[in-house]
Chains A and B, each alone.
Chain A
Amino acid sequence: MNFNLKIWRQAEGSAAGKFVDYQAKEIPAEASFLEMLDIVNEGLIARNEEPVAFDSDCREGICGTCSLVINGVPHGPGKAKTTCQLYMRRFRDGDTIWVEPFRVLAFPIIKDLIVNRSALDQIVEAGGYISVRAGSAPEANGIAVSKRDADLSMEAAACIGCGACAAACPNSSAMLFTAAKISHLGLLPQGQVERSRRAVSMVRKMDELGFGNCSNQYECEAVCPAEISAGFIARLNRDYAGSAVKEAVLAE
């Protein structure tokens, strides 16, 4: 298969970027999107042109490293998959394909298609954990968790932290990412003690980092590779509102 690529090139964060045309020739239909880019890069190196920089690691859809906007959609066409799990057979021979980095204020571009998503780590750092020191845990079966809660918690915990939710959101909101963590921990009995504090500090950190607010567009849910439900955002709002009120009352 052959494709016309329009790829965003940008030497560094502070430089101006632009789309550059490349031809991808004789690409096997079984190749993944990233393998197609590998082939293009091999060709560029052979012509002594600097290859296109893009992030990827596990290439099996779980590490959350790959992060491309393909034809305007984070992770490209198709539901519930990362860029690395997109295969060229999904495109038509001769297609023109636009490739860009995730565009979010809080994810500054490092080079070409690579962005800095450490803001997501900072949100977790603000309280996305249960404070239990190694060695202090009680016997595991001493804490019963209903299967329903455990399964729902797992659905939220499946988030791979790629940031596509924020890239798809017109407000660049990281609400789905944050809601997934707050729900994962808040649904479990182990997570109750810190539940209020967690919601308040994670949401405030999110705001501080420059992510926008949620205005119920559901674009996040549509592109999420882990199929995290936007319903978890309601859970975040409930935890946050309750905690903020409690905090205000206590402050008086």
Chain B
Amino acid sequence: MATICDSKIPAGPLEKKWSKHQAESKLVSPANKRKFEILVVGSGLAGASAAATLGELGYHVKCFCYQDSPRRAHSIAAQGGINAAKNYQNDGDSVFRLFYDTIKGGDFRSREANVYRLAEISNLIIDQCAAQGVPFAREYSGLLANRSFGGAQVSRTFYARGQTGQQLLLGAYQALERQISLNAVKMFPRTEMLDLVLVDNHAKGIVVRDLVTGEISSHAGDAVILATGGYGNVFYLSTNARGCNVTATYRAFKRGALFANPCFTQIHPTCIPVSGSYQSKLTLMSESLRNDGRVWVPKRKGDNRPPREIPDSERDYYLERKYPSFGNLAPRDIASRSAKEVCDEGRGVGPGGLGVYLDFAESIGRLGEKTIRERYGNLFEMYHNITGEDAYQRPMRIYPAVHYTMGGLWVDYNLMSNIPGLHVLGEANFSDHGANRLGASALMQGLADGYFVIPYTLGNYLANQSGKKASVERPEFKAVEEQARQRVTKLLSIRGKRTVTSFHRELGLLVWENCGMARSAEGLQAALGEIPQLREEFWHNANVLGEGNDLNQSLEHAGRVADFLEFAELMCLDALDRNESCGGHFRVEHATEDGEALRNDDDYCHVSAWEYNGSGKQPTRHIEPLIFDNVKLAQRSYK
């Protein structure tokens, strides 16, 4: 173990930290802003909002995304909503309560100061998005509507039908397009970042591949912002888009950026179960369904009767039984783990016994089918389209699936990594969700980082960087470019017998089994033994066809899988090292008598931030102690 990371949290009382920090942050004059070039990688909520806002401020911005348009980033798929502490419902919400819920939901593994700032900023985001024309749901009065979401006891979630992520992203995308029209931002779609370039140990550029022409080139800037999302696709099957990958953040890790808490992954409880090995992704069913659906499995093992023939007395409504006060609305990690438990006991339903029922019969009886159709019609249709089953007639089958990753590159209070100049926003950083993210918080964090944090904190880095922009002609750029080209050549020259997808699928299954919903020292050690072997085989037996000089999807996928094959090891190592259970990280050795996660605050109340030491070498763990001055650490109880 090595040094303690300096989080640069401002001194002073919690509720004054951010305003004080804003007042003390360094400003860059309008004349100087024009001289700075900022590279933003990723165009989801965090990337698009950052690129647009920095453009508005007068910086020169270049924004890169692998998709064909910035509007397609995976933020678009978020369904449920976005939290804010507006207290429009007069139901007792406040900035402190949103802060407290988020800290507790994260199982006391996030930073107080960051989370408080997030809660404070939440209200500004709603103002900003409403002004941009995001068509939020409204009451008949014309004022904004709210709903209760993801186990919160207040109604603080703003939403736009079941397409909140889409509407918020389109808001940010439109702001971005406006800056593009003003020449403040230059957009590079279908462009993938392959590596980070350091000059004098500062992040001063990136190497990218044009996915259409295959050209590998460099871009120099005064600062680099990564907003490249999470690494859920290390599990192969997840609710992420097919293209989501860890390459940008993992490459930054290999250049010296610390990777924090990679073992903190979120498994979402309500997804459509896996139906076969051909499957390319898992589909999330909005958590809002748990407001009116009851989760159950048969009491008896191997009870194969159709669900409607199983009488109530022979059903186990296990969430209601175990968590009487939260019931079916228990937080995501708890609901997911409970589903796994009953399936492990042999009481799961559907193919392979990997599913539980989400039953609307009672709600339909109480409210009428019409009301249920109004509330969830589109979700029932989606379920019918995918499974061919009618959820008005028989209960849905659901199973947990990988959904979000709380871990990410380590950042300080300014959202800057330990590499000066490298800033990390949104899901790509580790900062706000601890060991478990609450529903409707991801959209909040992505937009907070992009619209309202980075525009203030970037100045602290840039203030003394005037004139230090490097030229792409420097040897540092040439060297990294050359390495990227060699890697492409190497991938194309393996010409083995297995497809890249088969490696990805095997890796996914391996980490799902050993580093998924329940983890043990034994399983993690086994995975740590097998991953290097699989990686070895990949580099000798993968078959990547085609050339490097045109659009080559196999090559794109191969590069991403090669990085997942290394990253998976880091994730398992962190999971093994964190010898406690907390949030989404459940070590079977550490459970209470009731099977709940048992934290070890004496030894693990910290962030683990890993430093790369070279190929084949054990990374070094750095820690950042988590200090709680404003909340009392308690065992999370949702009973």
Q: Give me the interface of A with B, judged by CB distance under 8 Å.
A: 11-12, 27-28, 30-32, 34-35, 38-39, 42, 45-46, 48-51, 53, 55-65, 81, 85, 87, 89, 110-111, 114, 116-118, 120-121, 124-126, 128-141, 143-147, 150-151, 153-154, 157-158, 160-161, 184-185, 188, 190-191
- Output the least CB separation between B461 and chain A (Å): 19
Of the candidates A38, A55, A126, A130, which one forms a contact with B131 in the assembled complex, judged by CB atoms under 8 Å apart?
A: A130
Kindly list the 5 A-B residue pairs having the minimum CB-CB distance in the complex, ordered from nearest. A144-B142, A137-B131, A129-B174, A140-B130, A154-B135
Q: Which residues of B contact A191 (CB under 8 A)?
A: 133
With both beta carbons as reference points, the residue of chain B lying nearest to A201 in the complex is identified as B181
Whether B310 sits at the interface, judged by CB under 8 Å, is no
Say whether B313 faces chain A, with CB atoms less than 8 Å apart. no
Chain A residues near B283: list those with CB within 8 A.
59-60
B276 in contact (CB, < 8 A): yes
Q: Is the CB of B553 within 8 A of A87?
A: no
The answer to whether A57 and B276 have CB atoms under 8 Å apart is: no
Known: A31-B276, A161-B71. Contact between A45 and B138, CB under 8 A? no
- Shortest CB-to-CB span from A209 to chain B, Å, is 14
Query: Residues 544-576 of chain B: 1 if any A CB is under 8 Å from the residue's CB, otherwise 0?
Result: 011000110110000000000000000000000
Residues in A with CB closer than 8 Å to B553 are 51, 53
B24-51 interface bits toward A, Cβ cutoff 8 Å, 1 = contact, 0 = none: 0000000000000000000000000100
Interface centre among A48, A120, A154 (most CB of B within 10 A): A154
* Residue in B71, B86, B130 with the greatest tally of chain A CB atoms within 10 Å: B130
The 7 sampled A-B contact pairs (Cβ below 8 Å) are A11-B550, A30-B276, A31-B279, A50-B545, A60-B283, A140-B129, A140-B130
Task: Output the least CB separation between B131 and chain A (Å).
Answer: 4
Indicate whether B137 reaches chain A with its CB closer than 8 angstroms: yes
Q: Which of A28, A63, A85, A161 contacts B278 (CB 8 A)?
A: A28
In the complex, what residues of B have CB within 8 A of residue A53's CB?
Answer: 551, 553
Q: Is B175 an interface residue (CB 8 A)?
A: yes
Cβ contact within 8 Å between A63 and B72: yes
| Residues A35 and B280 in contact, CB atoms below 8 Å apart | yes
B189 near A: Cβ within 8 Å? Answer: yes
Is there contact, CB below 8 Å, between A114 and B551? yes
Residues of A within 8 A of B550 (CB): 11-12, 111
**Nearest-Cβ distance from residue B19 to partner chain A, whole angstroms:** 14
A35-B280, A45-B543 known; A185+B385 contact, CB < 8 A: no
Given A140-B144, A144-B141, A190-B130, list of 18 further CB < 8 A pairs?
Answer: A12-B550, A30-B276, A34-B280, A45-B543, A46-B499, A56-B242, A61-B382, A116-B68, A129-B133, A135-B455, A138-B127, A139-B127, A140-B130, A146-B138, A147-B138, A150-B142, A153-B133, A184-B133
- Is B126 interfacial (CB-CB < 8 Å)? yes
Chain A residues with CB under 8 A of B88: 141
- Is B76 positioned at the interface, with any CB of A under 8 Å from its CB? yes
Instruction: Determine the residue in chain A with the shortest Cβ distance to B502.
Output: A42
Residues in A with CB closer than 8 Å to B140 are 147
CB-CB under 8 A for A150 and B175, given A38-B278, A42-B499, A58-B74: no
Task: Considering the complex, give the chain B residue whose CB is closest to the CB of A155.
Answer: B135
Contact residue among B52, B144, B551 (Cβ-Cβ distance under 8 Å from A134): B52
Smallest CB-CB separation from B142: which chain A residue?
A: A144
Q: In the complex, are the beta carbons of B133 and A125 less than 8 A apart?
A: no
| Known A-B contacts A59-B280, A128-B177; A153 and B135 likewise in contact (beta carbons under 8 Å) | yes
Distance between Cα atoms of A42 and B557 in the complex (Å): 13
Contacting pair A137 B243 (CB below 8 A): no
The answer to whether B161 has its CB under 8 Å from any CB of chain A is: yes
Instruction: Check A129–B177 contact: CB distance below 8 A.
Output: yes
Q: Given A132-B131, A150-B138, verify A126-B243 contact (CB < 8 Å).
A: no
* Smallest CB gap from B351: residue in A: A30
**Closest chain A residue to B497, Cβ basis:** A46
Residue B170 interfacial (CB < 8 Å): yes
Residues B276 and A190 in contact, CB atoms below 8 Å apart? no
Is B613 on the interface with A (CB-CB < 8 A)?
no
Residue B534 lies at the interface, judged by CB distance under 8 Å to chain A: no
B74 neighbours in A (Cβ, 8 Å)? 57-58, 63
User: Measured between alpha carbons, how far is A120 from B170 in the docked complex, in Å?
Assistant: 13
Shortest Cβ gap from B491 to chain A (Å): 14
Within 8 A of A (CB), among B88-143: 88, 124, 126-133, 135-143
Q: Is A81 within 8 A of B143, CB to CB? A: no
CB distance from A115 to the nearest CB of B (A): 9
B53 within 8 A of A: yes
Residue of A nearest to B239 (CB): A60
CB contact under 8 A between A154 and B160, given known A34-B280, A58-B241, A128-B174 = yes
What is the CA–CA distance of A245 and B353 in the complex, to the nearest angstrom?
Answer: 66
Chain B 264-303: CB-based contact to A (< 8 A → 1; otherwise 0)? 0000000000011011110110000000000000000000
- Of all chain B residues, which has the CB nearest A111? B551
Q: Are A55 and B144 in contact (CB under 8 A)?
A: no
Q: Kindly report which residue of chain A lies nearest to residue B175, judged by CB atoms.
A: A129
Q: Which residues of A contact B187 (CB under 8 A)?
A: 121
Interface centre among B189, B275, B278 (most CB of A within 10 A): B278
Q: Is the CB of A51 within 8 A of B554?
A: yes
Cβ-closest chain A residue relative to B501: A42
Q: Are B242 and A57 in contact (CB under 8 A)?
A: yes
Once the chains are docked, how many angstroms separate the CA of A141 from the CA of B88? 9
B452 at the interface (CB under 8 A from A): yes
Q: CB distance B278 to A31 under 8 Å?
A: yes
Is the CB of B460 closer than 8 A to any CB of chain A?
Answer: no
Instruction: Verify B551–A65 contact, CB threshold 8 A.
Output: no
Our pick among A141, A157, A161, A190 for the contact of B143 (Cβ within 8 Å) is A141
Kindly state whether residue B581 has any CB partner on chain A within 8 Å.
no
Q: Which chain A residues border B388 with CB–CB below 8 Å?
A: 30, 87, 89
| Distance, CA A116 to CA B140, complexed state (A) | 42
